[in-house]
């Protein structure tokens, strides 16, 4: 027997209307000025200003940092830190999907602990809790608004650093499904397939527990049932709310059971070619799980049964085919080749993937040739 540990974020609000309640709670925390960490699309859509106005109504000042890139970089974290100091903000709000949350975690962690973000690559490298961070989530999703994972690209090495640290868990997470209705179809599909990957990798992880299993399987059920609807009908409130719960459940699963080779490999594609995280995961997931069949067939077949039982389009399909079909249904690109990935980079990508902390809990531990083989499999049409 081994002792398991289970991390929970402090407080989480989920459902339509959660934004107003979350910001009312922010006011009660007693802070004076927020650094809002976000990206340019959310500024263009007026969502950032909406949050600034709602904070002002609660007598909380705010300054907006909109420089977060889709794969947030060390440079983004440093720029945010500079604005934090210059503005005198006393807490951080992240607004958006995984990218703003990850950048904000990096900013809040370094603000409290000193040094530079690169010092915290790996597991639990920090000494002190980060600056208070409120994460307002607009995608479903990376679940970064409630996890202890932060992925920051070191642009000098073209490598994504995995920072897994209990101190980066946000103080308060807000999942207002009405904010998710603005997501375009491709982003809904990519972030939804990211959530599926979290659930599947957590379910076959070597450190899964009955708690993470329950979260993972419920997430698979909700994603099978609701992701295609959320993609096709952006304004479908029930689909958006069910996906908000699904991605949160998948987050609870992987925040504790960790991940596997899909994420270890997808991080490298994202860092090297600046590709969308969810799309990389969706392309790699069936091939990594086919590789994992030798050790995790029972668990993967259970995932397949849940997929098949919750979406008529997936009925009768084995797990690997069901994952591929779901990717087709939501319009994920067909191959790594289509994304511009180059085969001559596979060795470098595979070497870096084997160093990624997310791979440690993959049920089958392979070598360089195995990882290259999985990249090869995902290179052609699925
Ligand atoms: Fe992910």
CB 130 within 8 A of CB 109: yes
Residue 57 Cα to ligand 1 midpoint, Å, equals 35
Least confident of 4-18, 162-176, 251-265: 4-18
Q: How confident is the model at residue 9 (pLDDT cuts 50, 70, 90)?
A: low
CA of 108 to the centre of ligand 1 (A): 21
Closest to 200 measured CA to CA, from 187, 217, 188: 217
User: 277 C-alpha vs ligand 1 centroid, how far in Å?
Assistant: 7
Q: How far is the CA of 151 from the centre of ligand 1 (A)?
A: 9
Residues of the chain with CATH 3.40.50.1970: 11-178
CA gyration radius, the chain: 19
State the pLDDT confidence band at 157, using cuts at 50, 70 and 90.
confident
- Ligand 1 centroid vs 196 CA: distance in angstroms? 9
CATH no. for 11-178: 3.40.50.1970
Q: Residue 99 C-alpha to ligand 1 middle, in angstroms? A: 11
Q: What is the mean predicted confidence (pLDDT) over 226-253? A: 97
Q: pLDDT, tens digit, for every residue of 16-74?
A: 999 999 999 988 889 999 999 999 999 999 999 999 999 999 999 999 999 999 999 99
Phi, psi (degrees; rounded to nearest 5) at 74: -55, -40
Q: How far is the CA of 263 from the centre of ligand 1 (A)?
A: 6
Domain(s) labelled CATH 1.20.1090.10 in the chain stretch across 184-379
Phi-psi region of 318 (alpha: psi -120 to 50; beta: other; left: phi over 0): beta
Residue 1's pLDDT band (boundaries 50, 70, 90)?
low
Q: Report the C-alpha gap between 66 and 250 in whole angstroms.
A: 28
**Residue 3 clears pLDDT 90, i.e. is over it:** no
Rounded Cα–Cα distance for residues 322 and 277 (Å): 21
**351 band by pLDDT with thresholds 50, 70 and 90:** very high
Condensed to tens digits (0 to 9), the pLDDT of residues 104-121 reads 999 999 999 999 999 999
Q: What string of DSSP letters covers 298-352?
A: HHHHHHHHHHHHH-GGGTT--HHHHHHHHHHHTT--S-TGGGT--GGGHHHHHHH
Helix (H) or strand (E) holding 35: strand 33-37
Nearest to 235 by CA among 178, 186, 192: 178
- CA 262, distance to chain mean position in Å, is 13
Q: The tokens of 205 are what? A: 């992880």
pLDDT tens column, 197-222: 999 999 999 999 999 999 999 999 99
What's 184-379's CATH class? mainly alpha
Mean pLDDT, residues 253-272 taken together:
95
Q: 344: exposed, middle or buried (C-beta count within 10 Å: 0-12, 13-18, 19+)?
A: exposed
Cα 27 to middle of ligand 1, angstroms:
31
* Mean pLDDT across the chain: 95
Give residue 278 CA to ligand 1 midpoint distance, Å.
7
Summarised one tens digit per residue, pLDDT across range 356-365 is: 989 999 999 9
């Amino acid at each position: 027997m081994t002792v398991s540990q289970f991390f929970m974020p402090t407080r989480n609000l989920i459902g339509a209307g959660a934004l107003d309640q979350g910001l009312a709670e922010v006011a009660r925390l007693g802070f004076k000025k927020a650094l809002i960490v976000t990206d340019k699309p959310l500024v263009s859509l007026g969502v950032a200003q909406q949050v600034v106005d709602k904070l002002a109504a609660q007598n909380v000042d705010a300054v907006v940092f909109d420089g977060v890139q889709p794969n947030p970089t060390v440079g983004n974290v440093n720029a945010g830190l500079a604005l934090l100091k210059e503005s005198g903000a006393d807490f951080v709000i992240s607004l958006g999907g995984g990218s703003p949350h990850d950048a904000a975690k990096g900013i809040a962690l370094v603000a409290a602990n000193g040094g530079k973000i690169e010092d915290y690559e790996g597991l639990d490298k920090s000494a002190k809790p980060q600056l208070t961070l409120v994460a307002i989530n607009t995608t479903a999703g990376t679940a970064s608004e409630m996890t202890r994972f932060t992925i920051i690209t070191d642009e000098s090495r073209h490598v994504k650093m995995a920072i897994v640290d209990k101190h980066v868990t946000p103080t308060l997470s807000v999942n207002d499904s009405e904010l998710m209705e603005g997501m375009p179809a491709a982003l809904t599909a990519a972030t939804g397939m990211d959530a599926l990957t979290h659930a599947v990798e957590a379910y076959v992880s070597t450190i899964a527990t009955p708690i993470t299993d329950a979260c993972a399987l419920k997430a698979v059920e909700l994603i099978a049932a609701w992701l295609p609807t959320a993609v096709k009908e952006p304004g479908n409130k029930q689909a958006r709310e069910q996906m908000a719960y699904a991605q949160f459940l998948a987050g609870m699963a992987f925040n504790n059971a960790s991940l596997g080779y899909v994420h270890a490999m997808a991080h490298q594609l994202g860092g090297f070619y600046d590709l969308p995280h969810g799309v990389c995961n969706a392309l790699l997931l069936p091939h990594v799980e086919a590789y994992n069949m030798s050790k995790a067939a029972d668990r993967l077949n259970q995932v397949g049964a849940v997929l098949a039982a919750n979406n008529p389009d997936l009925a009768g399909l084995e797990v690997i085919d069901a994952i591929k079909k779901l990717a087709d249904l939501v319009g994920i690109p067909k191959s790594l080749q289509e994304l511009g990935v180059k085969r001559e980079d596979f060795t470098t990508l595979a070497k870096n993937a084997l160093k990624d902390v997310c791979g440690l809990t993959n049920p089958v531990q392979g070598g360089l040739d195995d990882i290259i083989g999985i990249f090869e499999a995902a290179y052609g049409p699925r």
